[in-house]
Chains A and B, each alone.
Chain A
Amino acid sequence: MGGGEIKPEPAQRRKQSFLTEIADVSLFISRTLKETFSRGFEFREFLRQCFQIGYKSLPLISVTGIIMGLVLTIQSRPTLVHFGAVSMLPGMVALSLIKEMGPVITALLCAGKIGSGMGAELGSMRVTEQIDAMEVSSVNPMKFLVVTRVWAATLMIPLLVLYADVLGIAGSWGGANIKGEVSFVLFFSQAFGHITFMDFFPAVVKTFFFGAVIGLVGCYKGYTAGRGTESVGIAANSAVVQASLLVIIVDLIAVQITDMLTS
Chain B
Amino acid sequence: MKTKGTIDSTRLSAIKSSTVIEISDLKKSFGEQHVLNNISLQLLTGENLVVLGKSGSGKSVLIKCIVRLLVPDSGTIKVLGEDVGGLNDNALRVLRMKIGFLFQSGALYDSMTVGQNIEFPLRRIKKGITRKDTEDKVKEVLEQVGLPDTADKMPSQLSGGMRKRISLARTIVVDPAILLYDEPTTGLDPATSAEISALINDIQIKYKTSSIIITHDIACARITADRLIMLKDGEVFKDGTVDTFEKSDDAPITSFFK
Residues of chain A touching chain B, judged by Cβ–Cβ distance below 8 Å, are 124-125, 128-130, 132-133, 135-140
Contact = CB atoms under 8 A, between A and B. Distances in A.
Given A128-B107, A138-B93, A133 B101 contact: yes
B125 A133 contact: no
A129 B70 CA distance: 13
B124 A132 contact: no
Contact of B69 (A125, A130, A132, A139): A132
A136 B96 CA distance: 6
A212 B255 CA distance: 56
Closest 7 CB pairs of A and B: A133-B107, A137-B121, A129-B107, A136-B101, A138-B96, A129-B103, A138-B93
A132 to B, nearest CB: 6
8 contacts: A130-B108, A133-B101, A133-B107, A136-B67, A137-B120, A138-B93, A138-B121, A139-B124
A98 to B, nearest CB: 36
Interface string B106-126: 011110000000001100110
A137 B126 CA distance: 12
Contacts, number: 49
Nearest to A136: B101
B221 interface: no
Nearest to B89: A140
Contacts of A132: 64, 69, 103, 107
A60 to B, nearest CB: 21
Contacts of B36: none
Interface of B: 64, 67, 69, 93-94, 96-97, 99, 101, 103-105, 107-110, 120-121, 124-125, 170-171, 174
A124 B170 CA distance: 20
* Most chain B C-beta atoms within 10 Å of own C-beta, residue among A128, A132, A137: A137
B105 A129 contact: yes
Given A129-B103, A132-B69, A137 B110 contact: no
A137 B105 contact: no
A130 B108 CA distance: 6
Contacts of A133: 101, 103, 107, 109
A128 B120 contact: no
Nearest to B174: A137
A46 B54 CA distance: 43
A149 B107 CA distance: 21
Given A136-B69, A139-B124, A128 B105 contact: yes
A124 B110 CA distance: 10
A136 B109 CA distance: 14
Nearest to A48: B111
A138 B123 CA distance: 11
A124 B156 CA distance: 14
Contact of A135 (B69, B97, B170, B174): B69
A190 B174 CA distance: 63
B109 A138 contact: no
Contacts of A130: 107-110
Contacts of A135: 69, 96
